[in-house]
């Protein structure tokens, strides 16, 4: 006996009338496509289904285990901190001069008062 789906196998939409497995030609096409190869999460080493464009190397956040989500949060924080450090590392005027940050108070943005003046003049 043939088994009839009650919901679209692709999007989970309820099926009506003569729809058998999928709710639309688009979903039918998607259902025929071979399932995407599983990838291994860089953080939790679990296989996951890559979704959408781009080359993900970690589980989609919404599908991830709680601890993988934590790892992703940490990775994001680390990345943000890295970017912030990089940003603070050179003069904001674009002259490329490296800034030294004592680690106290606000990190400097400019290598010299002249750089600051130049930037503000360029902006106005």
Torsion of CA 103, 106, 107, 112, to 10 degrees: -120
The Cα-based distances of 41 to 2, 37, 59, 60 in angstroms read 37, 13, 6, 9
Query: Is the CB of 43 or the CB of 102 nearer to Zn ion?
Result: 43
- The residue among 42, 70, 74, 46 whose CA lies nearest residue 55 is 42
The mark string for 32-71 relative to Zn ion (x by CB under 5 A, - otherwise) is ---------x-xx--------------x----x---x---
Cα of first residue to Cα of last residue in the chain, in angstroms, is 76
Supply the minimum distance, in Å, between the C-beta of residue 83 and Zn ion.
Answer: 19
Stretch that binds Zn ion, among 31-39, 49-57, 76-84, 94-102 (CB under 5 A): 94-102
Residue 7, phi then psi, degrees to nearest 5: -130, 150
User: By CB under 5 A, how many residues form the interface with Zn ion?
Assistant: 17
Based on the shown chain and the rule CB under 5 A, indicate whether residue 19 belongs to the binding site for Zn ion: no
Report the interface residues with Zn ion, using CB under 5 A: 8, 10-11, 13, 23, 27, 41, 43-44, 59, 64, 68, 91, 93, 95, 111, 115
């Amino acid at each position: 006996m043939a088994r009839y789906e009650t919901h679209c196998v692709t999007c989970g939409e309820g099926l009506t009338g003569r729809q058998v497995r999928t709710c639309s030609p688009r979903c039918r096409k998607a259902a025929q496509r071979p399932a995407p190869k599983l990838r291994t999460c860089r953080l939790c080493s679990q296989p996951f289904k890559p979704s959408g464009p781009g080359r993900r190397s970690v589980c989609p956040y919404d599908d991830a285990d709680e601890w993988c989500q934590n790892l992703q949060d940490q990775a994001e924080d680390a990345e943000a901190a890295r970017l912030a450090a990089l940003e603070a590392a050179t003069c904001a005027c674009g002259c490329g001069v490296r800034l030294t940050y004592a680690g106290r108070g606000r990190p400097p943005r400019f290598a010299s008062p002249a750089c600051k003046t130049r930037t503000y003049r360029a902006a106005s």
